[in-house]
Amino acid sequence: MLLSTMQDEPLSLATVLRYGSTFHSEAEVSTWTGSELRRMSYGEVGRQAARLANALEALGVGEGDRVATFMWNNNEHLVAYAAVPAMGAVLHTLNIRLFPEQLIFVANHAEDKVVIVDGTLIPLLGKYLPSLKTVRHVIVANGDASALEAPAGVEVHDYTQLLDEQEDTFTWPDIDERAAAAACYTSGTTGDPKGVMYSHRSMWLHSAQVTATNGMALSDADHTLAIVPMFHAMSWGLPHAALMCGASLIMPDRFLQPEPIAKILATEKPTFAAAVPTVWIGLLAHLDANPQDISHLRNVVVGGSAVPPSLMHAFKDRYNVDILHAWGMTETSPLGSVAWAPAGTTGEEEWSYRYSQGRFPVGVQARLVDDGGSVVANDGEALGELQVRGPWITGSYYSPDGGEVDPDKFDDGWLRTGDVGKITPKGYLTLVDRSKDVIKSGGEWISSVDLENIVMSHPAVAEAAVIGVPDEKWDERPLVSVVLRPDATADAEELRDFLTDKIAKWQLPERWTFIDEVPKTSVGKFDKKVLRAKYGEGSLDVKTLG
Ligand code: AMP
């Protein structure tokens, strides 16, 4: 090999912090308090990060130690995002909405030493704290530290007081780019959550992709409303990407309902926002009842589950806002594919690209594998399980003792996503389902996502979730759970009639149920396992059409 002449400068998040807090020192992160914003410049983020790093070091946090956050999206959470990896420790973002036993599992599994908690979340953390075996320090931000009763062996600190005692400079160490920078556990629907450890290198490259024009095209022109939680897949990479490019961040803290989100939009007029589809479905209903101009949003990134085309059209036609569909997973940092239509496409052709899960960027290689383990063609038609690999895709799950966790999720260096779809020759992905959600009716597949999208395009429908249920004749048939819009009416016959000219006759669902709300996972996705359990125990009122 002929070696290059280039410098071996590691891709470290310390450089991102140094860069953002100096060259973009005027950009701001700000947090909604319910009526206004608390603002902090990136210059101040740099100083606060140095204080936090000094404080953590004084508490005994060293290289590779895990520092957990149990926080909403806010200024202090950004400071932790900036400081913890840059000092060589590992930021572990705890999902505040996990079931108690899962939360306890992940904190113990990651061996978290310190937890930074928001004051409003003290009652929740207080319940778990006695079960967190490795935690020695809890730092309370935005609240009253004396409200937390600590078990023996755990010291409680006030964030402001602790940071006030520190110097506002820190000598950020040289870091091996392969070292762990942050940890996030999958929200796993079955079994224990699995840990993904992002490296400095993976986060650096991923953040750069977030700013790329075929990524999220985030730039210093953006005021970015980061609704997607910092405890879910690193808020889709927005925090470090913002420091990298000087985009300002607006953090909603605990004000995540449609009404306060609409208020933040009205007051701050962000240019950019990111959240899962259910947030936008809720916001749309609110805006339709209380119209306001939101055309200041030049880009709204939506992913985490499939975006119904009807939602995209509603935002475009009624509010002149473009939704950018994206696909990803905790395991993929998460940006996997983004649905920018190819330049020059217009009309229906453009929309067809925008409905898809999008095109893979150069950093994500993808292939489809069929049930027999053979790779199928990227011809835009053949279906298979999506497998991916690349510098920001995990190659394994974290194991404290080095043993293998769920090796079946990996196939010869590729991550098995569990998603089923097709890929065009030009690299556009269309997902039809999760492999466990696809409905096998008489040997043929029915896509639950397709059915949901069509039912949700009916004007009376707010949300629709489809699961497969056992059927004597066909093995499985779809059951549609429908949430109607407030004051709207529609019955099963009408909805089935609406579907007749949109899907094949044999796919038309016979089973329908009307519910008040689709159960959601800890990160706001439709929770089909809860619907399956309800169906199993007979607690859904199902109407079967002849
Ligand atoms: P999580 O790691 O919790 O973010 O979940 C990742 C999973 O969410 C993926 O494997 C997909 O099943 C699903 N997902 C994410 N984005 C999309 C999307 N745009 N369309 C359909 N499913 C998605």
CATH number, domain containing residue 45: 3.40.50.12780
> For residue 174, what are its two tokens?
């040289």
Among 153, 168, 198, residue at a domain's last position: 198
Residue 298 falls inside a structural domain: no
Residue 389 falls inside a structural domain: no
Q: What is the pLDDT of residue 190?
A: 63
**Dist CA 53 CA 87 (whole Å):** 6
CA 127 to chain centre: 26
Q: Is the CB of 431 under 6 A from ligand 1?
A: yes
**How far apart, in Å, do the first and last CA atoms of the chain sit?**
71
Residue 93 falls inside a structural domain: yes
Each residue's pLDDT tens digit, 336-352: 999 999 999 999 999 99
Q: How buried is 361 (Cβ within 10 angstroms: 0-12 exposed, 13-18 middle, 19+ buried)?
A: middle
> Of all residues in the chain, what percent carry a pLDDT higher than 70?
99
Structural domain span for residue 174: 9-198
Judge contact between 419 and 388, C-beta under 8 A: no
Among 153, 178, 198, residue at a domain's last position: 198
Count CB neighbours of 524 within 10 A: 21
**Dist CA 502 CA 452 (whole Å):** 12
| Catalytic position from the list 424, 445, 474, 476 | 445
Residue 450 falls inside a structural domain: yes
Quick one: which of 414, 415, 422, 411 has its CA closest to 378? 422
Residue 126 falls inside a structural domain: yes
| Catalytic position from the list 76, 177, 331, 385 | 331
> What DSSP letter does each residue of 459-527 carry, written as one string?
TTEEEEEEEEEEETTTEEEEEEEEEEPTT----HHHHHHHHTTTS-GGG---EEEE-S---B-TTS-B-
Longest dimension (CA), the chain: 74
Which residue, chain included where needed, has tokens 């399956």?
Answer: 532
**Dist CA 189 CA 299 (whole Å):** 31
Is residue 331 flagged as an active site residue? yes
Residue 401 falls inside a structural domain: no
Residue 328 falls inside a structural domain: no
The alpha carbon of 342 and the centre of ligand 1 are apart by a number of angstroms equal to 23
Q: Where are the alpha helices (DSSP H) in 33-157?
A: 42-58, 75-86, 100-110, 122-128
Count CB neighbours of 178 within 10 A: 12
Q: Please report how the helices 238-245 and 75-86 are oriented relative to each other, as an axis angle in degrees rounded to 10.
A: 80
For the chain, how many structural domains are there in total? 2
| Catalytic position from the list 93, 186, 271, 417 | 186
Count CB neighbours of 5 within 10 A: 4
Q: What is the pLDDT of residue 546?
A: 84
Each residue's pLDDT tens digit, 518-540: 999 988 899 999 999 999 999 99
**Dist CA 475 CA 438 (whole Å):** 13
Judge contact between 27 and 220, C-beta under 8 A: yes
What residue type is assigned to position 28 of the chain?
A: E
Distances (CA, A) of 235 to 29, 77, 303, 344: 14, 11, 12, 31
Which residue, chain included where needed, has tokens 């400095």?
Answer: 200
Residue 423 falls inside a structural domain: no
Q: Report, as ranges of residue numbers, the positions in the chain whose pLDDT lies below 50.
A: none
The alpha carbon of 520 and the centre of ligand 1 are apart by a number of angstroms equal to 14
The alpha carbon of 218 and the centre of ligand 1 are apart by a number of angstroms equal to 21
**Dist CA 31 CA 227 (whole Å):** 11
Q: What is the pLDDT of residue 442?
A: 86
Q: What is the pLDDT of residue 444?
A: 85
Q: What is the pLDDT of residue 466?
A: 96
Among 176, 198, 220, residue at a domain's last position: 198
Q: What is the pLDDT of residue 465?
A: 96
CATH number, domain containing residue 505: 3.30.300.30
Q: Which atom of ligand 1 is nearest to the CA of 418?
A: 10
- Note the pTM of the prediction, 2 decimals: 0.93
Quick one: which of 406, 404, 368 has its CA closest to 388? 368
**Dist CA 35 CA 455 (whole Å):** 37
